[in-house]
Each structure stands twice: as structure tokens, then as C-alpha cells.
Structure 1
Amino acid sequence: MIAPVNLLLIAALAGVLSLCVLGSLARSGMAGIRETIRANLLTLLAFSTFALQNTKAPLWLSVLVPNTAIALALCAYYAGVRRLLGLSVPRHLMTLGCLAALVVVAGYTYVDWRVEPRIVAMSLLQMGFMLGVAIVVQRNMPPHRSRYSYRFVWAVTMISAVVCAGRAAVYLAGLDSVSAFLDPTIWSVAFLTLGVLIMPCLTLGTIMIIHDRMLADREQEANTDFLTGLMSRKAWWLQAERYCAQALRMRRPLTLLLLDIDHFKRINDTHGHAAGDAVLRHFGLLATATLRTGDHVGRVGGEEFGVLFADMRSDAVLEVAERLLDSVRRTPCAHGGSTISYTFSAGVEDWIPGENLQVFFERADRKLYAAKTAGRNRIVGPGQEAERPLLPVAA
């Protein structure tokens, strides 16, 4: 049977390796990393001071310090997971739980020397934190990404909670009796073996979640136009190709609205490039508020935007485009204490089944060109050279 002290040494080495990996991620500034590092450091402190129980070290150092370190490590890890998932940290509840467990530990150390109640109290404390982490992770799994890392953490915390509950039950029922925490009984060694593996496994799971979140952030940056918050040209084009393939497979209509903000160069020359950026942001907000959630809108050029409407034909899209144009006319952009009125010109085309996306885009672009040629501030649809003239708006 492996000695408990050797188990603590193995766990300490695993903790050091975990800290090395976490240290390499600290520069990212990702929420929750510092708390996870703190949890591992406190766990190392607990393991090193637990090992002093077979020596003549004072009780405060061999009993109170390691149990306090374990309690603080649980708090740090739980707080780190919540911060990583963008949640608030219930500090008062965590503090009350830790204080209750540590009062039991202190009482059965200095008032009535009994190891079993201390083990029960700390087991229940750890079980509570592990169940808390499992619930938080389960409720906050990403809907559109791989959930492997989240499920890994959930599985580890649930296993840990079961182990802690079993350990508490064993010592409550008197199935094992120890005079010190590191007595090498079958039960104590079995529970210690499982216990020392928990923090390295949890740290591994946290690292996987951090990696997944960092990857999601980079993908978000690549797929989002930094100025308008709409889809970038590359992301829009890739998604548009998928829309075309889906429309062909399911035999559903697909319509493209291609629009260009009128006289945008004049806006930049008259009001400055910062004002031009404000107009682009303003249009992005109006488009988001006016269009449906599933409408595929992106910035495909400097002041040019594309919107794909799945399951809609051009007659319905023309109505939506008119509402968007009316919203733009009625809601000028506020910038630098002044307002900038602007409009857009647009072309609308229905997709022909089997048509190449580039050809589809070019057909809509020709309609857009027709709208601009006819005087701007208008929308041209299929079979039209230019829609009825609209009242001009100063840009």
C-alpha cells in the first residue's frame, strides 16, 4: 500500500506542473486564471502542511493551516470558474460555509481531539463546492461550440462530490477509525488517492475551458467587423455559401439585398473620417434593430453591406428594405454635437437554384448600380430598372 505522504508528494508535483501551464496563460488576462492559480498554490500549501501531522509540528500548523488552505482553495477555484463564465461571486455564502467547517475543525482539535468529525466537516464543505461548480458549468455550457471541456469539468466535480459524500458517510457511520489524518488505513488511503487527483484534474479542465474561450474570442474577432459589429466580409461570404447550399438542398427561396451608403466620400470630406465611422456604426445599429435575428447581414466593403434573407422572396425583401431605408431617413446619425442625415441605395435579387454565389452577388450589384445611377436614395428589385424616385435627403 502506498504511503499517504507519498500520495501528497505526487499530488504536489502534479500541482507544480499545473501551475507552469497556468502561468503561461496568465498573460492573456482571461478572467478566472488568477483565481485558479491561487487555488493550486493553496492546495500545495495544504499538502505540504498536512505532511507535518506525523511530526512534532504544532497543531495550528499541521491541522488548522492545511484545512484553512483547502477551504480557501475551494473558494478560489469556485470563484475562478464563475468569473471565467462571466458570473458574480457569492462571497458571503462561501465565507459562511468555510467558517462553519473550520469551526468544527478547530473544536475537534483543541476542545475534543477527534479526527473523524474534522474529516466529515471538510468532506461536506468540498462536496458543496464541487456540486456548486458542476451546476454552474452545466448551466453555462456554450450553445454553439464544443462542450467537451465543460463536460469534463462537470464529470470531475460530480465524481469528487460523490467521493466526498462517501467519505463523510464512512466516518459518520464509524466504518473507519483514525487517530490522525494520515493513518494508513484502507479507507483513508483510498479516499486520499482519489482526493489528491481532484485539483490537477479540475485545473486541466479549467485550462481546456480557457483555451476554448480564447479560441472563441479569436474567432469572434475574425468574424466580426470591428467598426459596425456586423459580420466581416470573409465571415459573411463563407456563411452566404452555406446559405446557398442549404437553399439548394431544401429547395427554399433565398434573396440578397446589397446596399451602399450614398455620398459616403462627401460625408468624410465634409465632417471628417471620424464622422464617417460614426455613420457606419449608426447604420449597423439600425440594421440590427430593423432586420430579423436570422437575417444574414455583414459589411462587405467600405460602405457597402450585404443581407441574405433565407426563406424570403424579393417582394417581401423589398418591403423590409423600404422599412430599413425609411428608418435611416428618419433617424440621422448624431456625432460631435451635430446630426448627419444620410441614405442608401440598394439592389435586390432572388437566387437562382444552382447559381454560383459570385454570379448572384454580381447580379445584385448591378441592381445597386442601377439605383445609384437613377439618383440614389432608392431600391431596385428584380425586373426593375429603378424604383420610383424618392425625396432627396441631404448627405
Structure 2
Amino acid sequence: MAALVLAGTSDIVVAVASSLLVIASLLGLRGFRQFLDTRSASAWEYGGLGVILFMLIYWTFVSPHVNARSAMISGFIAYVRFSIGWAVLKYRPSERPKYAYYFVSIAATLGAVVHAIRSVAYGLGLAQETTFLQPTPLNVVFLGMATLTLPCLSVGMVLLAHDRLSERMERLATFDDLTGVLSRRAFIARAEAITRATAAAKSTFSIAILDIDNFKSINDRYGHAAGDVALAHVASLISRAVRASDVVGRIGGEEFALLLPSETKEAAGHLVDRLRAIIAASGSCVPDRDVVSTLSAGVDAFREGDTLASVMARADAALYAAKANGRNCVVVAPAMETLTLGHQDGAGFGGKIMNG
């Protein structure tokens, strides 16, 4: 359209500028759809674009018809804007703030309404043009609204891009990039919230600390890439096996924590032992390598007067006892004890050992 202002309204300029406008409109729709992770464009939309470009040339050079050309272009842009507004609402991530998505949808819909009115007016002969974008009252309103809605749409897209960037940054801060489970900081934050709620309700929860057995030997023998594959494999099995209410986090190199709300440590011990058995029976965790991962785990439960740190410390001590007992087992901490962190004697620890 800037070319029309600078170069006049010759047929060639009108045809080129109008062609670029409809092509850019469809590309814009495709961009929004790709951003929203849905289909980019239908084959019939490309076919419709081809028909529009053909008729644009026909009504410009072969059988000039300004009204038909204006109605066709505005109708197509109205379709594009309506599609953008609908797609932004339909595919808006439910967990994200609504403002940016509603802003874009409203701006796109307003633009669509303006173009639809213009298309109908020229299509039904309610308005007449002798030259393209003749300064009629309808065109003045149309250009004014286009001047408002296009920048709003651009600003809205910037808002959506900012929201997407914020979402990715939040995810990086919340989830471990390699395993997909909660990062240590996010796990501790969520577990602290559950601890406060549990203390207020005078309820309980259990925590298990899980460690992949002999993980260093995987790295040393097959390389760190194989170790990463093993970590992702075990994390995937854990995530699929736990319940929706359970909280899983990676709290160290090959160490995971599992919080089981409202569970006694005895029940939690059985659940964790079932998880241990699933991983032990899962086969090789590294493609084309005979590498079978096993887990050792320590379990304890929250009780009155505890903090999250004290529960995790007792579960960690139980984990050391499981390692000392020969690995690939689960140790449930005893009911009352004075624990020494790093204790290596499973029998001296006094916890209940589960190994299938």
C-alpha cells in the first residue's frame, strides 16, 4: 500500500501491491498457526489464493472492475483475520495469562469485521469506486480502522512472543532439562508448601530418596552421553509409574526425590519398591549396550515437629543403608532413632529392608 502512495495508482502498482497484500495476509495466518503449534495452512487456502491472484489480474488488466476487486480482497483479508482471532482463542494455552491472547483475538476480529463490511458493501453495489482506494467515506473509515487494527495486531504478536519466552524461562527454572522432572529448587519449593499444609492439617506424607546404582561406572565405561540416556530412561520410568498427586524431582546428579502426599512410610515403602522392581525389569537403559539400571532408595515420613529438611535427612540416611545392604533395595527408616548421616551399616541402621 505504501507503493500506491509513492508511485500513484497505475494498474501495475495496484496489481503488485494488492497481490503482495493477500500473500502477506495468508503468510501472517500461517505464522500465527505455527506459533500456536497447529496446522499451518490448508491446500484449499493456497488454491483460493491462486484464484484470487488470477482474478486480481483479470479485473485489473482484462476486464477492469474496481468494485469486484475490492470486495474480493477485503473478503479474503476478513477470512484471514477471523481465522487468526479464532485460532488464538482456541489454541491458547490454558495455564497461561489470558490478556495477550484476548488482545490479539479482539484486534484481529475488529479488523475482520471492517473488511467484511467493506467486502459486502462493494460486493452488493452499496458503494462504488472508479479508482482503487478512492477517498469515499467508506474507504476513509476502512483505512482508519486498518491503521488502528494492524499496529494492535503487531503489538499483540509481540505480547504473545513475550509470553512464550516467559513460559520457556519458567519451564527452565522449574523442570530439569535432561529428565523432564522438577529441578531441585522447584521440588524443594513444592515440598515446602506441602510440608506447611501437612503440619496445619496434622496429616502426614512420605519422602523417598532414590539413587541410580553404580551410575559412575556407566559414565566411566560408556561416556557421559550414555549416562545422560540412562538418567532420562530412569526418570521416564519413574514419571510414568507414580501417581498424579506424587511429586518427583531430580535433586542431584543421579539422585531423585519422590514425595507421596498422605502416605505412611510403610505404604510408601511398598510403592517405591514396586517402582524399584519396574526399573530393574526394564532392560538396558542405553541402546545397543548391556546396561541395566537399578535403584536404591530410602523412605521416611513426616511427623509432628518435623521440617522438610529433617524428613529428607532421615530418608537420605535410609538410602545409605540401602546402598550398604547391597543396592537394588528399599530401606524404610525405623520408627524412632538417632541417625548418623553417611552411616554405611545397613543392619546397624535398623530400618526395614525391601527388595522384592
Tell me which interval the TM-score lies in, with the shorter structure as reference length: 0.7 to 0.9
1:30-51 residue CA offsets vs partner (Å, 9 max, x unmatched): xxxxxxxxxxxxxxxxx12332
Map 1:1-395 → 2, pairs under 5 A: 47-51=1-5, 55=8, 58-61=10-13, 63-90=14-41, 92-248=43-199, 253-335=204-286, 337-352=288-303, 355-383=306-334, 385-388=350-353, 390=355
RMSD: 2.6
1:371 touches 1:386 (CA, 8 Å); kept in 2?
no
Q: Distance in 2 between matches of 1:372 and 1:185?
A: 85
Q: Distance in 1 between matches of 2:303 and 2:67?
A: 76
- Per-residue deviation, residues 297-351 of structure 1 (Å, max 9, x unmatched): 1110122110112343334322221111101211233436331233222122222
Q: Give the whole-Å Cα distance in 1 for the aligned partners of 2:305 and 2:18.
A: 68
Q: 1:67 offset after TM fit, Å?
A: 1.1
- AA aligned opposite 1:386: G
Alpha carbons of 1:354 and 1:104: their partners in 2 closer, same or farther (altered >3 Å)? Answer: farther
Q: Following TM superposition, by how much is the alpha carbon of 1:182 offset from its aligned partner in structure 2, in angstroms?
A: 2.9
Change (3 A) 1:377 1:48: same
Once the 2 structures are TM-superposed, how far is the Cα of residue 179 of structure 1 from its aligned partner?
1.7
CA distance in 2, matches of 1:133, 1:353: 55
Q: Which amino acid aligns with 2:293?
A: Y
Question: What amino acid does structure 2 have at the position aligned with 1:88?
Answer: R
Q: CA deviation at 1:376?
A: 2.8
Distance 1:226 1:106 in 2: 53
Q: Structure 2: which 5+ residue stretches go unaligned?
A: 336-349
User: Does the 8 Å CA contact 2:330/2:355 hold for their aligned counterparts?
Assistant: no
Q: Which stretch shifts more, 328-337 or 72-81?
A: 328-337
CA distance in 2, matches of 1:180, 1:250: 76
Select between 355-364 and 188-197 the one with higher mean Cα deviation: 355-364
The alignment of Structure 1 onto Structure 2 pairs a total of residues equal to 342
Report SS of the residue matched to 1:335: coil
Q: Which amino acid aligns with 1:221?
A: L
Between structures 1 and 2, the one with greater helix share: 1
Mapped partners of 2:202, 2:105: distance in 1: 41
Instruction: After TM superposition, give the deviation of residue 272 of structure 1 in Å.
Output: 4.5
Query: For residues 172-193 of structure 1, what are the alpha-carbon distances to aligned partners after superposition, in whole Å with 9 as ceiling and x for unaligned?
Result: 4444322223322222101111
Distance 1:176 1:229, change over 3 A: same
Shift of 1:251: 6.0
What is the alpha-carbon distance in structure 2 between the residues aligned to residue 153 and residue 84 of structure 1?
13
Partner of 1:39: none
SS in 1 for 2:334: coil
CA shift for structure 1 position 200: 2.1
State the Cα distance separating 1:253 from its structure 2 match. Answer: 4.0
**d(CA) in 1 for partners of 2:355, 2:200:** 39
Which structure 1 segments of 5+ residues have no match? 1-46
- The share of aligned pairs that are identical, in percent, is 31
2:47 partner amino acid:
L
Relative to 1, partners in 2 of residues 1:311 and 1:132: Cα closer, same or farther, differing over 3 Å?
farther
SS at match of 1:71: helix
The TM-score with structure 2 as length reference comes to 0.86
CA 1:286–1:180: 2 relative to 1, 3 Å = same
Distance in 1 (CA, whole Å) between partners of 2:303 and 2:88 is: 45
* Alpha-carbon separation, structure 1, partners of 2:200 and 2:120: 58
Distance 1:112 1:290, change over 3 A: same
Deviations 1:17-40 (A, max 9, x none): xxxxxxxxxxxxxxxxxxxxxxxx
CA distance in 2, matches of 1:353, 1:178: 82
Residues 133 and 353 of structure 1, relative CA distance in 2, 3 Å threshold = farther
Q: CA deviation at 1:59?
A: 0.6
SS at match of 1:127: helix
Sort the Cα spacing of 1:358 and 1:390 in 2 relative to 1 into closer, same or farther, 3 A. closer
